[in-house]
Amino acid sequence: MLYKHLSDVTEEEMDKLLNRTGELMDVAETVSSILKDVQEKGDDGLREYTKKFDRADIQDIEVTSEEIEEAMELVDAELLRHLKIAAENIRNFHTAQLPQKTWFIEPSPGIKLGQMANPLASVGAYVPGGRASYPSTALMTIIPAKVAGVKSVVMCTPPGPDGKINPLTLVAGKVAGADHIYKVGGVQAIAAMAYGTETVLSVDKIVGPGNVFVTVAKMMVRDKAEIDFPAGPSEVLIIADESADAGMIASDILAQAEHDPKSVSVLVTTSSELAEQTNDEVKKQADAAVRKEIVDSSLENAAIIVTDTMDECIEISNGFAPEHLEIMVNDEDSVLERIENAGSIFVGNYAPVAAGDYASGTNHVLPTAGYPKIYSGLNIHHFLKYSTIQKITKEGLSSIGDTIISLAEKEGLQAHADSVKLRLND
């Protein structure tokens, strides 16, 4: 783990922290080949790659109602209760994000301008598997789509070697409201949702996180299905001063580290004492980590940087553009109002990233690798499309007629100008 004063951080070390998208194109050839195979072979291609990558022989690609009922029986009642609590909080937050269905303004007599929001027809939710199961991601991707009014929401998630989906993930998909659930993951799942197969329905948009292969696959199918944004290994940046608690900070660093060997955790602080304490706490907590091997690998990407001023902390954060940003300082609001780039922001000592990951209600599907500079985290607007509306009377058209005619004729589009002249001379 990098541990230095900002003045001692080399240009190469800072560049490594700030530029985290390099490996995406390294897998492009492999991803392109799988996409093409699935497009050509359909269900057979899905079975072939599921056997190759997930070591599972699957015949029925879509999950049956009997399998869902079996999963419901296997999930502990108390765990199911907590899943429903999280689902309700997520539903409430995203309902609050809903825009007005239709609105109008009247800038001048006879001219009414407005906008109308409509949901997408179909959405595909990708829920990762692999190192762990992520029922929370099923909630985060499916619930907002349903709140937005999307009629058809399909979920793809990889099966285990036994050909079955983790029961809790399956139940989460059901609780969230998925219309179809498929036992397929990885690049092949993205291909199936983009192009469609004999079993898997094609969709208008694909959302959800995944590894570098899934991320590149999503980027490559945008001619067929829109996507939310690129999302790779999880990351957190923590801005802290002397008021913060080193043990809490270390626990949040490890919480990100246990996701993936490529996860990135960074602390920027004005307190040398806090930095030293956090460094010690990270080592101590890492030794006791359940996923120690993953944590140890991830910590090689971690950094603790001591700055002279809070301005420098904020500058580093805005340059880093973290997926998750934690603010643990005395004057929270003064720091918060100067943040320009972050996927999701957690303010205060008692707002760990885990709260947003599971139960507070905000969405945990977020852009990473600096993409918060240009993308928002998953929200209700990802599932809506907007149409502008004009209601214009003859009086209204008269007030802007000369402007339209003048500009149209200047552009050489006489028919445009004539379409206005005809109406005004009627």
Global pTM value = 0.94
Q: Give Cα separations from 184 to 155, 158, 327 (angstroms).
A: 9, 5, 38
d(CA 287, CA 285): 5
Catalytic residue among 324, 326, 364, 382: 324
Task: Residue 177: name the closest of 157, 208, 153, 156 by CA.
Answer: 153
Q: How many residues does this entry show for the chain?
A: 426
Paired tokens of 24: 């995406």
Q: How confident is the model at residue 23, as a pLDDT?
A: 65
Residues 6 or more apart in contact with residue 173 via CB below 8 angstroms: 127, 138, 142, 155, 157, 181
**DSSP strands (E only) in 174-224:** 180-183, 205-207
Residue 180 among the catalytic residues: no
Secondary structure class of 97 (helix, strand, coil): coil
Q: Which amino acid is at 221?
A: V
Cα dihedral value 193, 232, 169, 355, nearest 10: -140
Q: How confident is the model at residue 349, as a pLDDT?
A: 96
H or E element in which residue 316 lies: helix 310-320
Determine the straight-line distance between the first and last CA of the chain, rounded to whole angstroms: 77
Q: Quote the distance between the C-alpha of residue 253 and its chain's center.
A: 20
Pairing of strands 2-5, 152-157: unpaired
Q: How confident is the model at residue 22, as a pLDDT?
A: 62
Q: Give Cα separations from 255 to 75, 89, 243, 322 (angstroms).
A: 25, 22, 21, 15
Q: Report which DSSP code applies to 398.
A: H
| CB count in 10 Å sphere of residue 259 | 21
Bind-site residues for NAD(+): 126, 188, 211
Residues 6 or more apart in contact with residue 80 via CB below 8 angstroms: 72, 171
Catalytic residue among 323, 326, 364, 382: 323
Paired tokens of 242: 């002397």
CA atoms within 13 A on the CB side of 11: 0
Domains belonging to the chain, first-starting first, are 2-21+234-361 (3.40.50.1980), 27-227 (3.40.50.1980), 393-425 (no CATH)
H runs (alpha helix) in 98-239: 135-148, 167-176, 186-195, 212-220
Q: Report which DSSP code applies to 199.
A: S
What burial class does residue 311 get, using C-beta atoms within 10 Å of its C-beta: 0-12 exposed, 13-18 middle, 19+ buried? exposed
Q: How confident is the model at residue 187, as a pLDDT?
A: 98
| CB count in 10 Å sphere of residue 423 | 13
What is the radius of gyration, based on Cα positions, of the chain? 25
Bind-site residues: 126, 188, 211, 234, 256, 259, 324, 357, 411, 416
Residue 324 among the catalytic residues: yes
Tens place of pLDDT for every residue, the chain, 426 residues?
899 999 999 999 999 888 886 666 689 999 999 999 999 999 999 999 999 999 999 999 999 999 999 999 999 999 999 999 999 999 999 999 999 999 999 999 999 999 999 999 999 999 998 666 899 999 999 999 999 999 999 999 999 999 999 999 999 999 999 999 999 999 999 999 999 999 999 999 999 998 889 999 999 999 999 999 988 789 999 999 999 999 999 999 999 999 889 899 999 999 999 999 999 999 999 999 999 999 999 999 999 999 999 999 999 999 999 999 999 999 999 999 999 999 999 999 999 999 999 999 999 999 999 999 999 999 999 999 999 999 999 999 999 999 999 999 999 999 999 999 999 997
